[in-house]
Amino acid sequence: MNLNHQSTACKGDAYCLDGMRARDQSTPTKKPKSPKPENAITIAVSSRVLFNMDVEQQIFERKGLEEYLKYQLDHETEPFAPGPAFPFIKALEAVNEQLRTLYPESEELFDVVLMTNNHAHVGIRLINSINHHKLFIERFCMTGGNSPIGYLKAYHTNLYLSADSMKVREAIDEGIAAATMFSPEKVTQVSETQLRVAFDGDAVLFSDESERIYKTQGLDKFFEHEKTHENKPLDHGPLKGFLEVLGKLQRKFYAKGHRMDCPIRTYLVTARSAASSGSRALKTLRAWGLETDEALFLAGAPKGPMLAKIKPHIFFDDQMFHIEGAAELGTVAAHVPYGIAQKVPPKKLKDGKETDSPSK
């Protein structure tokens, strides 16, 4: 059991605090109202991606549950430092602030739910940390090791972020958009006023149909397949729905004359080449009624340097090759464990390095 991770299913020792939060002197007395789950864009995060809990996790793994709980209680008044998801959550709150100004009666807002395997005693330190950092998180689920799937579905979750790859796989298997977050190797300053989200294409926004062709039949057959099916939209991947809700919010800003200064910006960052296989990706988005603000076709070049220029709050990819490359250059990356790439090892170049597929 990984204590510092999310988990949730309405069972015995699970605790859900909905609309309840400890108050301290730093907490504003007047705060916005949480939207109803059925109206909101719900982002579920685990405590270990919202905050840096590396020390606590090591204590749990080395000394066990009782020592872990004792440490948490002894350090209850010490707030956790920010984790990899922290800037992303702050950016969501910045978008909400602008939405509330433009649409004061609307509940179509981001709503963050903290889901954690932690014992309820640890909840006090989490609440203190949320208040210390002035985060607006009203909904908690502390589940003591149970599966998160029940609660994720109950909250109509649009995206689940965790450091626990097993729980992420479980969520994806149940049709919930999810990714395993990784901390970058260096700190990068990201925008505090514009949410930036970067997506890989195949097996993230799109299905792994094209990836399967490459893995099983090779590069030439992949190009041939993409040319033949250029006008046939790809099936959806696990993150398509999240891009969809981002686009819906973007259109609300456009309707108020804020296209050029929209506080949400999206990116397609793919290893596909524009000439040989890019058209199908763009035509698929068009067929869905979706778009990204920018599309980068890298033709197999590393994604890390381009992401370092974009400075997204989060980058989604299904291949660890790209996750590691992004993290090395300071990008918060999230692994989407979906598709054939999870089953077939990367091909090796002559120098022994791994290579990804051109459809990525």
Active site residues per annotation: 200
Size (the chain), residues: 360
Torsion of CA 15, 151, 335, 175, to 10 degrees: 170
* CA–CA gap between residue 135 and residue 140 (Å, rounded): 13
Residues 6+ apart with CB under 8 A from 135: 89, 90, 93, 112
Exposure on the CB side of residue 208, measured as CA atoms within 13 A: 20
Structure tokens that stand for 37 in this block? 């789950």
- Contact criterion met (CB below 8 Å) for 196 and 267: yes
Neighbours of 178 (CB within 10 A): 31
Buried b (16+ CB within 10 A) or exposed e, 271-301: bbbeebbbebbbbbbeebebebeebbbbeee
How far apart, in Å, are the Cα atoms of 43 and each of 56, 117, 175, 180, 260? 24, 17, 15, 14, 26
Which residues of 200-342 form beta strands (DSSP E)? 264-270, 294-297, 314-317, 333-335
* CA–CA gap between residue 331 and residue 334 (Å, rounded): 10
Neighbours of 1 (CB within 10 A): 11
| Nearest Cα residue to 294 out of 322, 323, 265, 318 | 265
SS3 at position 327: helix
